[in-house]
Amino acid sequence: MATTKTDPKLALANGTRKSKVQGGLSREQLIQAYRLMYTSRRIDDREILLKRQQKIYFQMSGAGHEAIGVAAGLALKPGYDWFYPYYRDRALCLALGVQPYHMFLQGVGAADDPSSGGRQMPSHWSYPSLHIVTQSSPTGSQILQAVGCAEGGRYLGHHPKAADVPAGITDYRLFKNVSSQNDEVTYVSLGDGTSSEGEFWEAMNAAALGKLPIIFCVQDNGYAISVPVEVQTAGGSISRLVSGFPNFHFEEVDGTDPVASYAAFQRAARYCREGLGPAFVHAHVIRPYSHSLSDDERLYRPESERERDAQRDPVTRTQMYLLREGILDDKGINQLEKEVEAELQVAVDRALEALPPPPESVMNFVYSPDIDVTSSTFDTPAATTESSSDGKKPAAKTMADLINATLRDEMKRDERIVIFGEDVADCSREEYLRQKLVKGKGGVFKLTFGLQNEFGNDRVFNSPLAEAAIVGRATGMATRGLKPVVEIQFFDYIWPAMMQIRDELSTIRWRSNNGFSCPVVIRVAIGGYLTGGAIYHSQCGESIFTHLPGLRVVFPSNALDAAGLLRTAIRCDDPVLFLEHKRLYRESYGRAAYPGPEYMIPFGKAKIVHPGTDLTVITYGAVVPRALQAAQKLEREQGVSVELIDLRSLNPFDWDTIAASVAKTNRALVAYEDTLSWGYGGEIAARIADQLFDQLDAPVRRVAAKDTFVAYQPILEDAILPQPNDLYLAMKELAQY
């Protein structure tokens, strides 16, 4: 660990007047730094004017943060290193090569805006060729992804063959250009207030644990909107709080001084490039333009304080510095500023003429335009399951067995797959495995058993107990072209990852206008009927995720479907939530022979589990065997013929099979394990009522859990979750309607 501290007040005065190279920057670079800083400030000024004229719709300034941004941009390499900036990083982006014109295109929301095609607010940077990764608005949600990006780069360095695209494949790898550099660095920035977010601490921990080549840059302007740093950060100094993290190089610097900032960034980058670990740059900056145009800081900051900040304005300070050091004279400054003004005028005029995106484009890139998960590419037969020559039938495998086998097959086939999560490894202390002292765990349900043993601990490993980190890191890795297949141990504990799933994973392709994508697979153990699982080991809640555009959701009910759908999930190009019902893992219902290493089922294709003519039951997951039991009883006892549909995949879902069945039976019952109200079946029922109204001879009915929680006592659990008898009665009543 190394720490360098520059006193904010002394940095500029200490500059060596006569040297030609100032703190590592040549005279030309200093002039370039000033040009970039001045350009950045003037773009803000222009945007503010345009906003007041209602020609753009939002403005967020980088004012006061220009020096640290330019310093980082000059110390790092666009298209080589990777960047997860935040909204104050205008000067960084300019230094990396973003054109002012592109920034104005963002403001007007133009179709040609290269960062999002008019989908994202300005100052939400995304420039794939420069490795500036698409940015969202939640403060701090980029940090864990940056960690994953750094991990992804390192993994690719250790597994160069993973980048290959073997001939004849038809999977996601065809559409991912994968590259890495041995000494690459990932940059991630955030404000002082954002360092209060839990994800920041999860990211610091993961970076320290992995000794990753990542620079955290906290741009500390002393405020988070109106909340001052001493109310935000215990003791008022983030540097002090993080100083205990091992393996880090620390810098605390006057971020309004480009020379000191550049030197700090150079040291930080060198430390990372040498593979010594992560770096932390704490830059003290100012915020002269209020938080945003919607904020008036005079409401909470007195003039005296604002005046004090103004003394440290990086643009004027750098201008003074150039004059004082004789690098530019008045005339030179004037000329440079005039050139910038002229360039910006042209850029603004052009941007104001740019065309907006067409309204009919709004659905583009919600999902991959390259791989259709419903297509016949994913419709491959199971390997033959006929009896072998000795007359023995192939063994019937459980869902747990076949998920494990599918993961193993796919890991053999595709070196980009990494598996991590809580307890998924066989044994983190590898020597125990090597010495055969232990057998290994492989997940609390043993679904990943044996995989670390077979593929090594850089492909299968335990993560810290931090769900946001699991999904956030996976998202960053997938952005680099890897295929993380991560596990959330229980659906009940997926919620810390919700920000990453809702605001990042599912939105990245759309919001970057197909500039970036992150086809992660999240396997989640879900559901009840456990006898003793209680409220926090039994939850469903799939409709919360099917409600998210951009995310595929599948929910198999048997071993064979689990194998076929998981393989599709891994090979496709969209993020997938793969829901595995715990009760079905080792159930005797739905066991199947191993279907071979190529078996796939397309998403959005339901299965008719039991054909019938009198009534359609639409369901999925653990309700399938229960509904089948009820349907068979109803047929036996009442002669009612039920058509039972297992949806298997929930988004997309198979409307055609539902419509064809209801056209035949004229009656529909939707059954699901989750609570009744606002559940998945509500949407299916609404669609049937809307689009098949003319075909119906009876109201659309639902059977689901009671609108409460799943209780521990089995008598209560039975009363809460839909049972075969509830399904039987509902079917009977609907058939008689």
Ligand X SMILES: Cc1ncc(C[n+]2csc(CCOP(=O)(O)OP(=O)(O)O)c2C)c(N)n1
Does 193 contact ligand X by CB under 6 A? yes
SS3 183: coil
- Contact region with ligand X (CB under 6 A), list: 114-122, 142-150, 185-193, 713-721: 185-193
Report which secondary-structure segment, H or E, holds 731.
helix 724-736
What is the arrangement of strands in the sheet containing 668-675, beginning at the earlier edge strand? Answer: 607-610, 642-646, 615-619, 668-675, 701-705
Task: Identify which of residues 24 and 228 has a Cβ nearer to Mg ion in the complex.
Answer: 228
Q: Which residue from 68, 133, 224, 711 is in contact with ligand X, where contact means CB under 6 A? A: 224
Out of 6, 115, 123, 139, the only residue in the binding site for ligand X (CB under 6 A) is 139
139 vs 239, beta carbon nearer ligand X: 139
Tell me which residue of 404, 459, 408 sits closest to 430, measured CA to CA: 459
Using the minimum distance from each CB to ligand X, give the nearer residue, 36 or 499. Answer: 499
651 binds Mg ion (CB under 5 A): no
Taking the complex as a whole, how short is the minimal distance between the CB of residue 140 and ligand X, in angstroms? 7
| Strand duo 82-84 + 186-191: pairing | parallel
Q: How far is the CB of 100 from Mg ion (least distance, A)?
A: 25
Residue 415's binding partner out of Mg ion, ligand X, none, with CB under 5 to 8 Å set by partner kind: none
Q: CB-based burial of residue 635 (10 Å sphere; 0-12 exposed, 13-18 middle, 19+ buried)?
A: middle
Q: Which H/E stretch holds residue 674?
A: strand 668-675
What minimum distance in Å lies between the beta carbon of 238 and ligand X?
10
Ranges within 166-205 binding Mg ion (CB under 5 A): 191-193
Asked if the bond preceding 652 is cis, omega within 30° of 0, the reply is yes
Parallel, antiparallel, or unpaired: how do β-strands 649-651 and 552-554 relate?
antiparallel
Closest distance to ligand X from the beta carbon of 188 (Å): 13
As measured in angstroms, the least distance from the Cβ of 68 to Mg ion is 13
- Residue 194 in contact with ligand X, rule: CB under 6 A: yes
Q: Determine the Cα–Cα distance for residues 350 and 662; give it in Å rounded to an integer.
A: 56
Q: Is 221 in the site for ligand X (CB under 6 A)?
A: yes
Residues classed as catalytic? 537
Q: Which of 137, 205, 247, 457 binds ligand X (CB under 6 A)?
A: 137
Give the range of 154-162, 218-226, 344-352, 570-578 binding ligand X by CB under 6 A.
218-226
Q: What angle do CA 349, 352, 358 make, to 5 degrees?
A: 150
To the nearest whole angstrom, how small is the minimum distance from the Cβ of residue 225 to ligand X?
Answer: 5
Backbone torsion region of residue 503, taken as left when φ is above 0, otherwise alpha when ψ lies between -120 and 50, otherwise beta: alpha
β-strands 607-610, 642-646: how paired?
antiparallel
Residue closer to ligand X (CB basis): 137 or 237? 137
> Which stretches of 247-364 are assigned E, i.e. beta strand?
249-254, 279-284
295 versus 337: smaller Cβ distance to Mg ion: 295
290 is a site residue for ligand X (CB under 6 A): no
Which of ligand X, Mg ion, none sits in contact with 605, Cβ below 5 to 8 A by type? none
Burial class (CB in 10 A: 0-12, 13-18, 19+), 438: exposed
**Residue 233 Cβ vs ligand X, minimum distance, rounded to whole Å:** 10
CA-closest candidate to residue 115, choices 139, 87, 143: 87
H runs (alpha helix) in 211-302: 229-232, 238-242, 258-273
Torsion sign over Cα 48, 52, 54, 57 = positive
Residue 374 contacts residue 602 (beta carbons within 8 Å): yes
CA dihedral 494, 496, 500, 505 (to 10 degrees): 0
59 lies in the binding site for ligand X (CB under 6 A): no
Q: Which residue has the tokens 């701090």?
A: 140
Starting at the edge strand found earlier in the chain, the sheet holding 521-526 runs 460-462, 417-421, 483-488, 521-526, 576-581, 552-554, 649-651
User: Among residues 86 and 367, whose Cβ is nearest to ligand X?
Assistant: 86
| Residue 139 contact, options ligand X, Mg ion, none, Cβ 5-8 Å cut-off depending on partner type | ligand X
Q: Are 568 and 574 in contact (CB under 8 A)?
A: no
Q: How far is the CB of 145 from ligand X (least distance, A)?
A: 15
Q: Which amino acid appears at position 429 of this protein?
A: R
Look at residue 88 and give the partner it binds from Mg ion, ligand X, none, a contact being a CB closer than 5 to 8 Å depending on partner kind: ligand X
- Cβ closest to Mg ion, residue 192 vs residue 504: 192
Residues that contact ligand X, how many (by CB under 6 A) = 16
Nearest to ligand X of 153, 193 (CB atom) = 193
Least CB distance to ligand X at residue 136 (A): 9
221 lines the binding site for Mg ion (CB under 5 A): yes
- Angular region, 677: left φ>0, alpha ψ -120 to 50, beta rest: beta
- 450 makes contact, choosing from Mg ion, ligand X, none, with CB < 5 to 8 Å by partner type, with none
- The listed partner (Mg ion, ligand X, none) that binds 483, CB under 5 to 8 Å by sort, is none
Residue 507 interacts with ligand X (CB under 6 A): yes or no: no
Residue 225, binding choice from ligand X, Mg ion, none, Cβ under 5 to 8 Å by partner class: ligand X
CA distances from 568 to 163, 424, 481, 576 (A): 20, 21, 17, 10
225 is a site residue for ligand X (CB under 6 A)? yes
Pick the stretch among 143-151, 220-228, 516-524, 567-575 that binds ligand X (CB under 6 A).
220-228
To which H or E segment does residue 526 belong? strand 521-526
Q: Is 78 in the site for ligand X (CB under 6 A)?
A: no
192 binds ligand X (CB under 6 A): yes
Name the site residues for Mg ion (rule: CB under 5 A).
Answer: 191-193, 221, 223-224
Name the site residues for ligand X (rule: CB under 6 A).
Answer: 88, 137-139, 190-194, 219, 221, 223-225, 287, 291
